[in-house]
Structure 1
C-alpha cells in the first residue's frame, strides 16, 4: 500500500490515506474494522479505519501522537507522502448491526471506529446521538464533519470547559432497544461498562486489555492442546501461552498484538472449555466457547481440541 495523503487534522492527530499503487480496488471493510500497520522495525500496530466503508479505493486511519509510542512515533516523525507500507487485510471485532437508532460514546481518538458507523447510520436514515469526550474542541478529530451529518447530533464534552460526561445518568436514561457503541480511553470505557444495565446492548473496541475480575476458580495449570489439522498434541505448561507453545512445536499461527485485543489469533475450538482472557469476544461468544484467542486465553478443561 502507498501513502496517498498525509494530513494533520488536529495538532496531535495525523490522517493517513492508503491506496493500492496500481489503482486496484481494496478488500471491503465494514464499519468498526481495523488494519495492522507493519512498522519498519518489525513491530505491528493496529489502527481503526475511519474512512467511508463504501470507498473501495482507499483506507484511512487517524493516528494520535502518543509520547513514546512506536506506531505514532513512526507516523508522526518518519512517514512520508508516497511511502510504501505493509498492512494486514481489514479485520473486525467491533461489529455494527442494524437498528432504528444508536448511541455512540467516544473519547478522543476513539472516534475513529465510530465515524464509519455513524456514516452508515446516516445512510440508513437511522437516528443517532454521539457523546464526544475530548480535552478541548480544538483537539477533537473530525468534529466539523460529524456536526454536518444529518439524522443526529453531537454532544461535545470538552474538559477545558468543564463539560464532563455524566456516564451514570446517560446509561440510566438510554432505552434498552438502543445499541451503544463505545471507544476511547480505558477509564471512559470502564465507566460505561460499570454503568451499563444487564439488559443493555453495549459494545466496546478495546485497544489495551480490558480489566478482568480476580480469578479464584482456575489457576494457570498445564493442559493439552490437540491440533486437529496438524495431527500433534502439545502440552501447554503453566506460565506459557497456547500461542508460544504451538510456535515451539512448529505450528504457525497468525498473531499480532499478543495481548488479546486485535483478534488476529482467533481460533475455532472443536472440543474442550476455554478460559477466555481476551478483550475481543462478547460475553455471549465467550459462553458459547466456539472460538478463543490463543495469545492470552487458556483452558478450563484438561484438554482442548483446536482447528489448527
Structure 2
C-alpha cells in the first residue's frame, strides 16, 4: 500500500469501481464495489477487512459487511468522523458512483471460531464485521444473540437487515434505554460461548476491564483504532536479524523496526502503520517481542511466534525474524 514514502505495494491490490453509494444511517454510507470487468473477487471470511486506497493516496481499513457468497461484489460501510484524518470526509462528501478505488486484502484478524453459542456486541459502526458473522452463525444453526448499542436508532446502520432475525437482536439506543451497563449485558464466562465485541475504544476498554478474569479464548475484540500503549519495554538499541536474508539491522530507540528494515532495503508489506490492520505480520524465530499492536490476544502475545514491526519492538537484545 502507499501510506508512506517507503511503503511496499500490496501484490494483492486490485482496482474496483464504486457501483453504489447509499445512506445506511445518519453519517453512515454503504459502498458496493465490483471489478470493472465483472471478474470474481477474492474470497473472504466473516471478520475480514480490506485496505482502501483513496485517490489522494490515503489508506484506510474497512470491514466487509456484505454477502460473503457474492463473488462479484464487496460491501463496506463508512462512518463520517468529524475528528478523523480526512478519509471518511472524502467518501461522504466527494466520492461518487463510478469512482475507481484500489483495494488490498481481504485480511482477517477477527475470525469467527467454532462455538455452540455466540454473543455479539456492536457499538455504532462496529456492527459491520458482525453482519457476516451473524449470517455464518445462522448457517451453522448456532445459538446466538446480538446486542447493538448506539446513540439513537437513526445513527444505527442496517437495522432493517437485522430486523429479520427477530428477538436474536437486542437494539439498545442510548436515547431510549439510557447508558448500557456491561454487568447487565454480559453474563459470566461460559466454556461453550464466545463473545465478540467491536465498536468505539471506550466500549472495548470497558469490556476488557469487565472480562479481565475470564479464561483465555472466550472474548474476542476488534479495534478500529490503535489501543493506548504504555512505555516501551526498553529504550536502547537492539538487533533484528533476518534469518533468510542473512542480514542484521540495528534498531535505534527513535525508529520503528519497520522503518529500520525498509531503510536497509528490506521490503516489508505494510498498510496502517498503527498495529491495527495486520498487513506487516512477520514470524519471530528467536527473541522476545515487545508487542504494541491492537490485534494479538494474550495467548498469541505469550507465544511470541509473530509480531507487527510497524509498532512493536523488542524486550531482548536481539530478535530473529523469518525474513
* 1:222 match: 237
Task: Report whether the alignment pairs 1:118 with 2:130.
Answer: no
* 1:273 match: 288
Q: Which of 27, 30, 33 is 1:15 aligned to? A: 30
The gaps in structure 1 that reach 5 residues or longer are: none
Task: Report whether the alignment pairs 1:5 with 2:31.
Answer: no
**Counterparts of 1:253 and 1:264, CA distance in 2:** 9
TM-score (norm 1): 0.95
Alignment of 1:15-164 (within 5 A): 15-69=30-84, 70-149=86-165, 153-164=168-179
* 1:256 match: 271
TM-score (norm 2): 0.91
**Counterparts of 1:205 and 1:80, CA distance in 2:** 29
* 1:184 match: 199
* 1:206 match: 223
SS of 2:24's partner is strand
- Deviation of 1:168 after TM superposition, in Å, equals 2.2
SS of 2:47's partner is coil
Please give the per-residue CA displacement for 1:87-141, whole angstroms capped at 9, x wherever unaligned: 1020000010111211011000000011110111011111211111101112110
**Counterparts of 2:241 and 2:107, CA distance in 1:** 26
Q: Aligned pair in 2 of structure 1 residues 222, 59: CA closer, same or farther (>3 Å)?
A: same
SS of 2:98's partner is coil
**Counterparts of 1:279 and 1:23, CA distance in 2:** 35
**Counterparts of 1:59 and 1:220, CA distance in 2:** 43
The answer to which structure, 1 or 2, has the higher relative contact order (CA under 8 A, 6+ apart) is: 2
CA contact (8 A) 1:129 1:154 kept: yes
- Deviation of 1:171 after TM superposition, in Å, equals 2.8
Q: Aligned pair in 2 of structure 1 residues 112, 125: CA closer, same or farther (>3 Å)?
A: same
- Deviation of 1:220 after TM superposition, in Å, equals 2.4
Please give the per-residue CA displacement for 1:175-210, whole angstroms capped at 9, x wherever unaligned: 342100000010011111111132261101111122
CA contact (8 A) 2:234 2:314 kept: no
Task: Report whether the alignment pairs 1:295 with 2:316.
Answer: no
The gaps in structure 2 that reach 5 residues or longer are: 1-15
**Counterparts of 2:71 and 2:182, CA distance in 1:** 36
* 1:236 match: 251
Count of aligned pairs: 305
- Deviation of 1:270 after TM superposition, in Å, equals 1.5
**RMSD over equivalenced CA pairs, Å:** 1.5
